[in-house]
Amino acid sequence: MFSVPRVFSRLLCIFMELISSYSCLRLSRRRFEGIDVFLSIEAIIHEVRSQYHRP
């Protein structure tokens, strides 16, 4: 049998993920320039990762 706290924490994690993705979608829909902000953040993260993973 599976434990109840594990299932509850898993459901809570999924629920929070859905809420965050919905709020991000609503933000980008309300202000269309928000997509540019998200893309620039993605570019910054990619740049930092490439600097850390250099051989």
pLDDT of residue 39: 72
User: Does the pLDDT of residue 11 top 60, yes or no?
Assistant: yes
Collapsing DSSP states into helix, strand and coil, what is residue 50?
helix
User: What single-letter amino acid sits at 4?
Assistant: V
pLDDT band at 1 (very low <50, low <70, confident <90, very high): low
Residue boundaries of the structural domains of the chain? 4-52
pLDDT band at 42 (very low <50, low <70, confident <90, very high): confident
> How far apart are the C-alpha atoms of 51 and 40, rounded to whole Å?
17
> How far apart are the C-alpha atoms of 55 and 51, rounded to whole Å?
9
